[in-house]
Amino acid sequence: MKVKLIGILFSMIAFAGIMMSCSDDDDGGSTGPDTTAPTVWVSAPADSFKVIDGIPVTITAGVSDNVGVTKVEFYVDSILLSTDSIPSDFEYIWGTVGKEGDHYVFLKAYDSAGNAGESDWIWIIVTPPQTITVTSPNGSETWYQGSTQNITWNVNTVDSLVKIELLGTAGSTLSEATENDGLFVWQIPADQVPANDYLIRITGLETTITDASNSSFTITDASYIQVTSPNGGENWLIGNDETITWQDNLTEDVKIELYKASVLSLTISDSTASDGEFVWTLPGTLTTGSNYKIKITSIPAGTVSDDSDTSFQISLP
């Protein structure tokens, strides 16, 4: 009887073990609490990345975790600047205006259990601000079909090349890539559509820094004369042969005059062909001075004229 009871007891213990095993299987297997911290790193930009002051930087996180990352924090110089909880796109766009210098960046990633992982640092180097500034045409100018005009801008970028565009009624790309030297000579097409809403836009090809005319200028098909030399700042010597140049779209002759302090000083030619060039020998009777201008006028009607933009100088040799 005693042996029989012992057998029954062993059978009950075995059955209990089987039931416990089945219970564990029904639970799908217990793995315990999640204690694994996420792994996070800065996937972009690269370490020691350089950016110009004013150009934003997109900081992108790379993450991995045994369960899944729920949020990423973005730190610049140990300051929490953003928290992103969009798993498909952990990123932050950092503005660099006024932040010239070296800055360190790191990230923290969290999972749903509260485990946190931290990335290594990277450095972002913000270099001095750069600008492109269109200086001509910059608003209110009148340019003429068929004329040659200087497009100018201030050069303060690392770009070796810039793109130049004409914006407005009949806009076009004037140059896909020209030297960033502050000057582009544009021959306006003779059939350029006349309008008063044109702007010039210049963009650096490397930095994408851009600027446009502050306000619109006009392109017209009207008759015109435009003095190109002397147009201000020259120093011409008495007794020398100097070449007066201009542009026009006239068929009639022109008159050329010399003015000093807005007073007629000399008629250089009563009538000469409107071919854009006149060689003038400066007479010894001229008075030296720095307030001279050349004026060119159409004849016989005299309805179209132009003079030097600013004064030039006449000196003794």
Q: Where are the alpha helices (DSSP H) in 27-81?
A: none
Residue 148 within a domain? yes
Instruction: Provide the number of structural domains found in the chain.
Output: 3
Range of the structural domain that residue 115 is part of = 39-127
Distance between alpha carbon 229 and the CA centroid of its chain, in Å? 33
In sequence order, the 6+-apart residues with CB closer than 8 A to the CB of 263 are: none
Residue 1 within a domain? no
For 158-209, the pLDDT digits (tens) are: 899 999 999 999 999 999 999 999 999 999 999 999 999 999 999 999 989 9
pLDDT at 31: 66
For 30-42, the pLDDT digits (tens) are: 468 999 999 999 9
Picking from 186, 220, 254, the residue at the C-terminal end of a domain is 220
C-alpha distances in Å from residue 237, one per residue of 213, 221, 234, 291 = 37, 37, 10, 14
Give the SS3 label for residue 35. coil
Say if CB 50 and CB 31 are below 8 A apart: no
Say if CB 60 and CB 84 are below 8 A apart: no
Q: Where are the alpha helices (DSSP H) in the chain?
A: 2-26
pLDDT of 16 above 60: no
* Residue that the structure tokens 């350029």 belong to: 192
C-alpha distances in Å from residue 104, one per residue of 61, 109, 162, 188, 269 = 15, 17, 32, 50, 71
Phi, psi torsion values for 41, nearest 5 degrees: -150, 160
Residue 56 within a domain? yes
Residues 50 and 112 in one domain: yes
Terminal Cα distance for the chain, rounded: 145
Say if CB 123 and CB 48 are below 8 A apart: yes
Residue 163 within a domain? yes
Residues 246 and 304 in one domain: yes
Picking from 220, 239, 273, the residue at the C-terminal end of a domain is 220
pLDDT at 303: 84
pLDDT of 3 above 80: no
Residues 230 and 311 in one domain: yes
Residues 154 and 216 in one domain: yes
CATH of the domain at 288: 2.60.40.10
Residue 29 within a domain? no
Residues 150 and 199 in one domain: yes
In angstroms, rounded to a whole number, what is the distance separating the alpha carbons of residues 312 and 204? 35
The answer to which of 2-11, 114-123, 301-310 has the lowest mean pLDDT is 2-11
**91-94, strands of its sheet edge to edge:** 39-44, 57-64, 91-94
Residues 275 and 297 in one domain: yes
More confident residue, 73 or 25: 73
Picking from 127, 152, 180, the residue at the C-terminal end of a domain is 127
Say if CB 72 and CB 91 are below 8 A apart: no
Average pLDDT, the chain: 90
In angstroms, rounded to a whole number, what is the distance separating the alpha carbons of residues 316 and 87? 79
For residue 290, the tally of other CB atoms under 10 A from its CB is: 13
